[in-house]
Structure 1
Amino acid sequence: MSELPLIPKCKEVIFDTGNILSWSRLRKKPLVSGTDEILDSTDSLVKCWLKQQADSDALQKAEQIRVCCPIHGNQAELERSQMTPEQRAELRINLKVTIWPNAYRHGAISEAVQEALTSLSATDCDSIVLSIAGNSWSRPPNAGGLLLNDVKPLWLELEELHCADVVASLGAADFVPDLLESLHQWAKEKPRICQLHTQVACTTPLRLRNFASANGMQLLTHSDSPDPLPSDRLQQAVAKAFNRESDGQGWQPRWLVRVSSTVRDRGVVKTWGYVYKVQRNNIVPM
């Protein structure tokens, strides 16, 4: 690896993989987990993006950068190329937003959703499922798991997006029955989707199935890790992508959005990708 850092002053990066279904190399490579898919696509993304960066001095001075798929162009171009109403009507757009609770600040969910929709050249989506990193069914509230008060500020942000017609339906991933019922009772906009990990889906409690049925809630499964972007693996991946050990130091995930769109009434996946934000406090010495 090179010794001199390429982004020594950078404290914030937003990675936007674009539609990885169009990346033939990733389609051919067997990936064993969502984390592998995120980090492998990040490696390819950064290497392609760096080839488009003619001004290395600007990178040296930048404190914030947005690394996007070169075929997307820059963010201004994305915002100008919005979907037509006819194109949007053909698609069902679903977002899964993962928040790292120790780094959460008000506005993070709105920022994540806006960045994801910009990536799709869309202004709204059909559903958003909230996932909180580190949460799982193995950690109920009485064992240090999530409480309703932990979820409230995040859900309020989602409700604001719903009121603004940015999203039609809201959902939650891996909320134990007590938490899901408490959220449903408290929230103005009720969760309509409940995602369960495949490891527990086969033994879904009758209580949860009955609650979902009585309240018009859709039960879905997923295979995502409780922490889809571990800090150590993230830092290793960034260092490898930028080919500089120092450029990988200190990064911590803030939010992650998995973006997918399917053709309505056909279920054909048209778009699959990730948008995520990382930050660090330290400045790398030159």
Structure 2
Amino acid sequence: MGTDAARALLERATTLNLQTGNLLNWGGLRKKCPATPGEEVSGPRRCSFSTAGRRSGGREALEVVECTVAQAIEKINPEERDELKVSAKLFIIGSNSPSIRDAVDMACSALGVAQLDSVIIAPPPVEDGISLSLEYLQPYWQELENLVQSKKIVAIGTSDLDKVLLEQLYLWAQVKPSSNQVNLASCCVMPPDLTAFAKQFDIQLLTHNDPKELLCEASFQEVLQESIQTTKAHEWTPLWLLRYSVIVKSRGIIKSKGFILQARRNAS
């Protein structure tokens, strides 16, 4: 689909769903394979808008635009499902907890699976001067717990929580966090108190190198503007970004990885 057609669709839509497909297939598409988390996000967004398409709504009332790299879409073979671990990390950017279900449903649909083996949630954004608290995390965690209870997710985890907040969450939660990611860029050694608490309650400590802000509203709007030359890019706000990976259990190698993003237009 050409730029003009994509722009026309987006200017009538209220929601944009973007899927990169398997980034490991991008070599066959003659595109440079992203090296860092930031490149993984910006690269797919730059090339995907050209494949925008309509999912629902009529000529005058378009609601959702689907945007995918069709050649890179790769569903899991049901016969291989038991041999694979499907995990995801969800970055809440500008939304509320109910969007978590949308993200998980879209990931399951994209990969052709009934459930995800694990989902880690990155701390949602808080206003300047306000510290992340249990009270702020609770609605997001409750939505994850609902998805565990409905068997859409097997295990749930957190990211960048210190020992105090992780303990508060663990004691309050019905479904306990199975893991907590630690960014070693800001912490060269695992904090001893966090390590001791995680060991006591069988919480796996993982490391990550994601930037503090993987995707912000301004950068998303900039890429949207550059991609389809729309004057209404400022009306679009990214709600969440989900990164998934499919790992072969017996060999520990990544079979597939990609991103799914949802954005909403706030027309004045």
Q: TM-score, normalised by structure 2?
A: 0.87
CA-to-aligned-CA distance 1:203-223 (integer Å, 9 cap, x gap): 321100000111111111111
Counterpart of 2:25 in structure 1 is 22
Counterpart of 2:266 in structure 1 is 281
Match of 1:99 among 71, 92, 95: 92
What is the CA–CA distance in structure 2 between the aligned matches of 1:26 and 1:35, rounded to whole Å?
20
Counterpart of 2:140 in structure 1 is 154
Match of 1:125 among 116, 125, 150: 116
1:68 to partner: Cα distance: 2.1
Q: Which runs of 5+ in 1 are unaligned?
A: none
1:247 to partner: Cα distance: 4.5
Could you tell me the percent identity over the aligned residues? 27
Q: Is the 8 A contact 1:201 1:221 kept in 2?
A: no
Once the two structures are superposed, the pairs formed by residues 1-286 of structure 1 within 5 Å of their partners are: 5-6=7-8, 7-24=10-27, 29=32, 31=34, 33-47=36-50, 49-50=51-52, 62-71=62-71, 83-84=77-78, 86-100=79-93, 102-104=94-96, 106-134=97-125, 144-242=130-228, 244-282=229-267
1:248 to partner: Cα distance: 2.2
1:278 to partner: Cα distance: 0.7
CA-to-aligned-CA distance 1:133-171 (integer Å, 9 cap, x gap): 447xxx9xxx62211111111111111111122222110
What is the CA–CA distance in structure 2 between the aligned matches of 1:235 and 1:45, rounded to whole Å?
14
Q: Is the 8 A contact 1:98 1:132 kept in 2?
A: yes
Q: Which runs of 5+ in 2 are unaligned?
A: none
What is the CA–CA distance in structure 2 between the aligned matches of 1:95 and 1:152, rounded to whole Å?
20
**What code does the residue aligned with 1:113 have?**
V
SS in structure 1 opposite 2:210? coil
**What code does the residue aligned with 2:92 have?**
I
Q: Whose strand fraction is larger, Structure 1's or Structure 2's? A: 2
1:236 to partner: Cα distance: 1.1
1:227 to partner: Cα distance: 1.7
**What code does the residue aligned with 2:174 have?**
K
Residues 258, 59 of structure 1: CA spacing in aligned structure 2 closer, same or farther, 3 A cutoff?
A: farther
Residues 234, 158 of structure 1: CA spacing in aligned structure 2 closer, same or farther, 3 A cutoff?
A: same
Residues 237, 261 of structure 1: CA spacing in aligned structure 2 closer, same or farther, 3 A cutoff?
A: same
CA-to-aligned-CA distance 1:165-195 (integer Å, 9 cap, x gap): 2222110001122111100000011101110
Q: Is the 8 A contact 1:252 1:278 kept in 2?
A: yes
SS in structure 1 opposite 2:41? helix
1:201 to partner: Cα distance: 4.0
Aligned length: 263
CA-to-aligned-CA distance 1:230-278 (integer Å, 9 cap, x gap): 1111011112222x13242322111111010010121110111000111
CA RMSD of aligned residues (A): 2.9
What is the CA–CA distance in structure 1 between the aligned matches of 2:172 and 2:34, rounded to whole Å?
39
Relative CO higher for 1 or 2, CA cutoff 8 Å, sep ≥ 6?
Answer: 1
What is the CA–CA distance in structure 1 between the aligned matches of 2:28 and 2:220, rounded to whole Å?
21
